[in-house]
């Protein structure tokens, strides 16, 4: 009995000891967690219940100089459906009405939507796709449909908002407007104006601390835990949408007519360097044209005969010739070492003056002009070109500017024929915009100004920064030389290679260019160009047109392919501005934008001081826009806005009533 009791006591002591030891271990662990690891676990708890959420900034608008939108951020809506959320009764009562409504708004048959909704209900699909990228008007309609009008928890509708960048001019100037994109690693891809001025446009994102509550919902945690975003500034560009329109369509017509590979047009204001239009169109394998690359800024190529202006200026400045110096074009073929310079006119032009050589674009005369006077010291000619800034990039804010390429005496690619061929634009490379900048300097009496795409940066109605002209070279040549070459370019249009675009109604001056390209690959590939300015006597605008690889059988000379584009642009500008008293209306393919580019004049997220033009907009979009501007809106009818009671441009007054007539 005593032995049995002893065994029992031993067992009790053992169990008690184990429990005591376990209690000590637990106590130690609790103390260790509380004292030594408390901060760590408190941080983990906070991390799982609190998070810092990024608040995106609204990107600023990009405007043309007249206030027309070139790029804006618009809210788009994706609609999905949680098929489990509605009760059985709600689903059965509203499924037919919902299907009919979706069919009316989105276009597919009622049966299509009804079958999809029923299938989703049966499979308990909680994230059924309904529609994406809806505008405000469509979103409002869908949100008000049967079942969906009961909201997310009773009707199952899931609404996802996101912001998209829109271009109201659509494909026109698409490459120039460009974009700015950031990848997952934070690297930015910057194209065009959007990329160049992204610093102003993108704004600065904010942050807000949120706390997790029931069912995965998060709520803001205190007003002191918020860093508000700063919305992007608005950028007002130098682009004139009317000039852009005619430049785009005139270039497109020429590319289509001559089945060219690609081309570009740039129009620049002479005094300021402001770019008023820039169009870049490339051909698809199907024969369509779109803004593929920014050829005007990025594509450096041999300029051909448009470079004869630079050669002439150099020779006149160095006083090795004057305009009356005579050159013998012989029979239109002059040999230099193992190569032959050839004039476009079979048999040549005989003996002609330097001025006439420019008007007729004689390759043989220019080759002799430069070779005869600089062969003994070719670096003198090249240095003269460099002193005029031709070997320097323009330093554009738009990314991707091509680099000028000039051979220099002593280089491995300098040959005996390099100098005479440089005289008429071979063996060197310039971008169209670099060539135009030189022509613009001639038009501007020798002052070379940097091409500029931006006028000012604004925050609502407050100006943040303005941009004035930037002088690259205050005088590229003497006034005497400038006057001589101006007269030559004027005569080129009146009686020279560009006489086919001469007009009695208005004056133009310029130089044609026809350059063989990729001749090492295949014969018959050309670059057709025309560069010049207008009016001839007191220039207001300069312009360059470049058409790459037109079909030879249809035409390839610069005066035939490119010069008419220049004339159409000049004629349109003359017609729209009081440069002269009377001109004939332009002919050809120059469709004028009327109200389309104004449809997005105001952004719902920004304040404005003027009434926007909402004609042509969907009624619901126009109403939402105007109400966000503080106006009271009455409307009659349905569809798109046909007229508005307060005309666009009038001063905006809060709480004023505007009436819209819908079609």
- The CATH number that applies at residue 205 is 3.90.1310.10
Give domain status of residue 228, yes or no: yes
Cβ-contact 505, 536 below 8 angstroms = no
* Domain extent for 220: 55-236
Give domain status of residue 480, yes or no: no
- DSSP run (H or E) holding 169: none
Give domain status of residue 358, yes or no: no
Q: What is the phi-psi region of residue 637: left when phi exceeds 0, alpha when psi lies from -120 to 50, beta otherwise?
A: left
Please count the structural domains in the chain: 2
Between CA 295 and CA 275 the distance in angstroms is: 15
Tell me which of 236, 258, 273 is where a domain ends: 236
635 forms beta bridges with: 660
Q: Which residues are CB-neighbours of 508 under 8 A, at least 6 positions away?
A: 493, 498, 501, 502, 532, 533, 534, 535, 536, 566, 567, 570
Between CA 147 and CA 162 the distance in angstroms is: 24
Between CA 281 and CA 175 the distance in angstroms is: 9
Between CA 112 and CA 164 the distance in angstroms is: 29
Give domain status of residue 473, yes or no: no
The helix/strand/coil state of 412 is coil
Give domain status of residue 596, yes or no: no
Give the pLDDT means over successive 10-residue stretches in the chain (663 positions). Answer: 66 77 79 65 57 81 90 89 93 95 94 95 93 90 94 90 83 85 79 91 83 61 70 93 93 96 97 97 93 94 97 98 96 94 93 97 97 96 97 94 96 93 96 98 98 94 93 97 98 97 94 88 87 96 97 94 97 70 38 35 44 72 73 77 82 85 77
Residue 631 sits in a domain whose CATH number is 3.30.10.20
Between CA 417 and CA 128 the distance in angstroms is: 71
Q: Count helices and strands (H / E) in the chain.
A: 21, 28
Cβ-contact 275, 452 below 8 angstroms = yes
Predicted local confidence at residue 68, as pLDDT: 87
Cβ-contact 159, 148 below 8 angstroms = no
Q: pTM for the complete prediction?
A: 0.76
Predicted local confidence at residue 565, as pLDDT: 97
Q: Which residues are CB-neighbours of 632 under 8 A, at least 6 positions away?
A: 655, 656, 657, 658
Give domain status of residue 95, yes or no: yes
Would you call the peptide bond into 535 cis, given omega within 30 degrees of 0 as the criterion?
A: yes
Strands 289-290 and 509-516: unpaired
DSSP string, 94-146: HHHHHHHHHHHHH-S-HHHHHHHHHHHHHHT-SSEEEEEEE-HHHHHHHHTST
Predicted local confidence at residue 206, as pLDDT: 83
Cβ-contact 173, 291 below 8 angstroms = yes
Tell me which of 182, 217, 236 is where a domain ends: 236
Give domain status of residue 303, yes or no: no
The helix/strand/coil state of 557 is coil
Tell me which of 218, 236, 254 is where a domain ends: 236
Predicted local confidence at residue 47, as pLDDT: 53
Cβ-contact 245, 568 below 8 angstroms = no
Give domain status of residue 353, yes or no: no
């Amino acid at each position: 009995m005593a032995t049995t009791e002893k065994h029992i006591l031993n067992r009790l002591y053992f169990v008690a000891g184990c429990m005591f030891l376990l209690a000590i271990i637990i106590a130690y662990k609790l103390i260790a967690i509380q004292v030594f690891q408390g901060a760590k676990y408190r941080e983990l708890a906070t991390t799982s219940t609190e998070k810092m959420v990024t608040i995106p900034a609204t990107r600023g608008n990009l405007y043309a100089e007249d206030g027309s939108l070139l790029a804006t951020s618009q809210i788009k809506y994706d609609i999905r459906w949680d098929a489990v959320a509605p009760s059985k009764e709600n689903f059965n009562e509203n499924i037919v009405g919902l299907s009919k409504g979706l069919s009316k708004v989105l276009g597919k048959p009622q049966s299509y939507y009804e079958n999809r909704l029923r299938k989703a209900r049966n499979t308990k699909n909680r994230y059924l796709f309904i529609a994406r990228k809806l505008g405000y008007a469509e979103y409002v309609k869908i949100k008000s449909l049967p079942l969906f009008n009961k909201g997310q928890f009773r009707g199952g509708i899931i609404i996802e908002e996101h912001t998209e960048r829109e271009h109201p001019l659509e494909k026109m100037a698409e490459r120039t407007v460009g974009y700015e994109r950031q990848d997952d690693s934070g690297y930015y891809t910057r194209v065009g104006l959007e990329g160049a001025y992204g610093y102003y446009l993108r704004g600065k994102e904010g942050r807000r601390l949120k706390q997790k509550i029931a069912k995965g919902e998060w709520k803001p945690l205190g007003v002191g835990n918020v860093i508000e975003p700063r919305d992007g500034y608005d950028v007002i560009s130098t682009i004139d949408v009317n000039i852009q329109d005619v430049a785009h369509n005139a270039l497109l017509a020429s590319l289509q007519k001559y089945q060219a590979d690609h081309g570009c047009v740039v129009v620049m204001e002479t005094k300021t360097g402001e770019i008023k239009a820039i169009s870049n169109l490339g051909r698809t394998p199907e024969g369509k044209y779109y803004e593929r690359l920014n050829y005007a800024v990025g594509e450096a190529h041999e300029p051909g005969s448009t470079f004869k202006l630079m050669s002439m200026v150099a020779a006149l400045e160095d006083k090795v010739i004057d305009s009356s110096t005579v050159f013998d074009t012989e029979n239109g073929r002059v040999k230099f070492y193992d190569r032959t310079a050839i004039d476009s006119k079979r048999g040549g032009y005989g003996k002609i003056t330097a001025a006439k050589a420019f008007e007729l674009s004689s390759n043989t005369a220019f080759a002799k002009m430069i070779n005869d006077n600089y062969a003994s010291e070719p670096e003198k000619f090249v240095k003269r070109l460099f002193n005029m800034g031709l070997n320097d990039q323009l330093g554009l804010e738009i990314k991707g500017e091509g680099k000028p390429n000039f051979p220099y005496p002593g280089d491995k690619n300098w040959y005996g024929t390099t100098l005479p061929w440089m005289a008429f634009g071979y063996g060197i490379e310039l971008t169209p915009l670099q060539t135009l900048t030189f022509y613009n300097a001639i038009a501007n009496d020798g002052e070379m100004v940097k091409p500029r795409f931006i006028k000012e940066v604004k925050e609502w109605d407050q100006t943040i920064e303005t941009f004035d002209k930037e002088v690259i070279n205050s005088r590229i040549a003497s006034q005497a030389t400038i006057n001589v070459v101006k007269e030559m370019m004027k005569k080129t249009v009146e009686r020279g290679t560009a006489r086919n675009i001469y007009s009695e109604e208005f004056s133009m001056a310029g130089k044609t260019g026809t350059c063989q390209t990729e001749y090492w690959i295949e014969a018959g590939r050309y670059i057709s160009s025309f560069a010049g300015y207008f009016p001839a006597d007191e220039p207001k605008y300069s312009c360059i047109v470049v058409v790459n690889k037109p079909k030879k059988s249809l035409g390839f000379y610069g005066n035939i392919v490119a010069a008419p584009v220049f004339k159409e642009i000049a004629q349109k500008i003359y017609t729209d501005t009081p440069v002269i008293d009377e001109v004939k209306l332009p002919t050809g393919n120059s469709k004028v934008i009327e109200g389309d580019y104004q449809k997005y004049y105001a952004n719902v997220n920004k304040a404005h001081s003027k009434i926007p033009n909402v004609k042509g907009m969907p009624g619901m979009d126009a109403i939402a826009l105007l109400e966000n501007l503080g106006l009271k809106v009455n409307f009659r009818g349905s569809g798109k806005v046909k007229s508005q009671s307060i005309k666009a441009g009038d001063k905006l007054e809060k709480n004023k009533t505007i009436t819209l007539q819908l079609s």
